Amino acid sequence: MPTGPNATHVIVFANEKGGTGKSTTAVHVAIALAAKGARVGVLDLDHRQRTVGRYLDNRAATVKRTGTELPMPEHATHTDQTEAGFERLFDQLSENADYLVIDTPGRDDPFARTAAMLADTLVTPMNDSFVDFDLIGQVDPETYKVTRPSFYSEMIWDARKVRAKADGTTIDWVLLRNRLQYVEARNMRRVSDALTQLAKRVGFRIIPGLGERVIYRELFPAGLTMIDSKAFGSMGLAHVAARQELREMMAALALPEPAPVAA
């Protein structure tokens, strides 16, 4: 498995908490990168739900049905659950790719741990909720001050140590706030303050993710995203705003530009 500055940039979406937006965000990032002309591989490690795999299958079916060309990442699902199978798919999908996007299941999973260790960028989506926050840190019930990091932060901390020792890479750990709502709620400020405190302690960056929008739930059957304007025709204001937040999320991820392909 090649790693290092010129190898495929590996982006892993991971959070042991289920339903935080890993798959939705992973699909949008993969398609946004492909739409820029990058070569993108997508590995779905959630062989039970297969959300990302199914999203991209639906997308391929839309291309076939409508005859509209859409940017299309190459994807595979880790169905056999063996180490050899994981390595084979990892190598196959990263071989000619600028980016490899890996989606992981929302539970403790051995391959999710391996993937976290192979990440160049590790994205942990979470919702503005102390229920989601609990996996990465604990807070005092009265002051909401962070009292200590939780097991998931410790696990990522360890993964980073192993990786730094193995090849000197610092995994860029990004905490992505998903389903942001635009009404200022007191709870949001508290979660946000706690995140800022914890970020310094365990070394992650915090970036804004996708907003809370129906559109992110409706595009799945056709495998589309709101950047596929060709397939949509005219767009409403909500789509325009959604595209803008996707652009901002991509910019905040600060992924390296693909290395030029050797002639």
Ligand X SMILES: Nc1ncnc2c1ncn2[C@@H]1O[C@H](COP(=O)(O)OP(=O)(O)OP(=O)(O)O)[C@@H](O)[C@H]1O
Q: Which of 8, 15, 23, 121 binds Mg ion (CB under 5 A)?
A: 23
How many other CB atoms are there within 10 angstroms of residue 170's CB atom?
Answer: 10
Region binding ligand X by CB under 6 A among candidate stretches 19-27, 56-64, 143-151, 163-171: 19-27
Is residue 124 part of the contact set for ligand X (CB under 6 A)? no
Select from Mg ion, ligand X, none the partner in contact with residue 212, using the beta carbon and a kind-dependent cut-off of 5 to 8 Å.
ligand X
* Residue closest to 39 by CA, chosen among 260, 210, 231, 263: 260
Task: Show contacts with ligand X in window 178-197 (CB under 6 A).
Answer: 178-179
The residue ranges of DSSP E strands in 73-160, in sequence order, are: 74-77, 99-103, 121-126, 137-139, 146-149
CA-based nearest residue to 136, from 166, 101, 177: 177
User: Is 23 near ligand X (CB under 6 A)?
Assistant: yes
Residue 178 contact, options Mg ion, ligand X, none, Cβ 5-8 Å cut-off depending on partner type: ligand X
Q: Shortest distance, CB of residue 11 to ligand X, whole angstroms? A: 14
Tallying the residues shown for the chain, one arrives at 263
Shortest Cβ 95–ligand X spacing (Å): 26
Place of tokens 């962070």: 146
- The rounded distance, in Å, linking the Cα atoms of 35 and 38 is 7
- Residue 18 as a binder of ligand X (CB under 6 A): the answer is yes
3-state secondary structure of 158: helix
51 binds Mg ion (CB under 5 A): yes
Nearest Cα neighbor of 152 from 46, 16, 21, 22 is 16
Binding residues for Mg ion, per CB under 5 A? 22-23, 51
Residues at the site binding ligand X, with contacts judged by CB under 6 A: 18-24, 46, 49, 51, 105-106, 178-179, 210-213, 216-217
